[in-house]
């Protein structure tokens, strides 16, 4: 089956004063992919996904999503268009229950019409990440790894076409990381996934393709095997700069 482009950028650029954080990036993501973006600190990864999600405005270039130009579309409209973005730092409502957190996301998609539909969507999202048994717990009382999964569930409750995860395993234990990998494999059955990740074991376990960034530009793209064998990537990241 031919690949269908879900998201594409052309010449995407963002400068902060004299620093070019994202430098004329051409990028294409196919529907159904799990793509990882890797690179050393300061490579421009988080700025790039901030541009995709609408949290940062581009200085130049274009972004197309699902056949629509979204370059100037505000973040809240991109969510409705099907882009869900979870942050490096857990972004939940700690005083609310796990179910209430997921329901807030579901309500933003479904509106206020049907409480039953909102609750069903929230419970489905929690089931997808394995948190059904904790739905009545106060989110702020959960272990950090479970809080990260609440955030992923909130993203899933939006029924996204694209789920963007920024450093999702940061701060997780080995057991929590193993569970997260299993969760994302389930999520990938219904959504395209784009993740920024430093843990190369996670990248190799999940990604069908990898994009490597350095100094705001794409250094290389390919399968995990191609990337690990690429001399430029080894010098810049895998075996060189951290």
Using CA atoms, how far apart are residues 71 and 215, in angstroms rounded to an integer?
A: 22
The pLDDT score that the predictor gives to residue 99 is 97
* Residue 87 confidence (pLDDT) above 90: no
Task: For the chain, give every domain's residue range.
Answer: 1-73+199-242
The pLDDT score that the predictor gives to residue 242 is 35
- Neighbour count for residue 32 (Cβ, 10 Å): 16
* Residue 241 confidence (pLDDT) above 50: no
**Could you tell me whether strands 192-196 and 34-38 are parallel, antiparallel, or unpaired per DSSP bridges?**
parallel
The pLDDT score that the predictor gives to residue 233 is 87
For domain 1-73+199-242, the CATH class is alpha beta
What's the pTM value of the predicted model, to 2 decimals? 0.89
The pLDDT score that the predictor gives to residue 1 is 59
How sure is the predictor about 234, in pLDDT bands with cuts at 50, 70 and 90? confident
Indicate the DSSP class of residue 82.
T
- Tokens matching residue 2: 């031919």
How sure is the predictor about 239, in pLDDT bands with cuts at 50, 70 and 90? low
Q: For residue 92, which phi and psi values (nearest 5 degrees)?
A: -120, 175
Over residues 58-75, the pLDDT tens digits come to 999 999 999 999 999 999
Mean pLDDT across the chain, nearest whole number? 91
Whole-number percent of the chain with pLDDT over 90? 73
How sure is the predictor about 131, in pLDDT bands with cuts at 50, 70 and 90? very high
Please compute the mean of the pLDDT values over residues 192-203 and round it to a whole number. Answer: 94
| 238 vs 54, higher pLDDT | 54
Using CA atoms, how far apart are residues 159 and 204, in angstroms rounded to an integer?
A: 26
């Amino acid at each position: 089956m031919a690949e269908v482009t879900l998201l594409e950028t052309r010449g995407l650029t963002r400068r902060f004063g004299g620093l070019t954080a994202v430098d004329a990036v051409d990028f294409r993501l196919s529907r159904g992919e799990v793509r990882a973006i890797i690179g050393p600190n300061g490579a421009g990864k988080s700025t790039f996904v901030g541009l995709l999600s609408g949290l940062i405005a581009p200085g130049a270039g274009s972004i197309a999503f699902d056949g629509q130009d979204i370059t100037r579309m505000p973040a809240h409209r991109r969510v409705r268009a099907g882009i869900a973005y979870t942050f490096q730092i857990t972004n939940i409502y700690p005083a609310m229950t796990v179910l209430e957190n997921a329901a807030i996301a579901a309500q933003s998609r479904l509106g206020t019409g049907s409480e039953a539909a909102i609750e069903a969507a929230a419970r489905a999202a929690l089931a997808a990440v394995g948190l059904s048994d904790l739905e009545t717990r106060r989110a702020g009382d959960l272990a950090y790894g479970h809080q990260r999964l609440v955030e992923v569930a909130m993203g899933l409750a939006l029924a996204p076409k694209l789920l963007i995860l920024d450093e999702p395993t940061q701060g997780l234990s080995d057991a929590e990381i193993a569970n997260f990998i299993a969760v994302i494999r389930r999520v990938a059955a219904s959504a395209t996934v784009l993740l920024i990740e430093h843990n190369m074991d996670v990248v190799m376990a999940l990604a069908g393709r990898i994009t490597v960034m350095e100094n705001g530009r794409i250094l290389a793209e390919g399968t995990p095997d191609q990337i690990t064998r690429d001399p430029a990537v080894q010098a810049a990241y895998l075996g060189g700069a951290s």
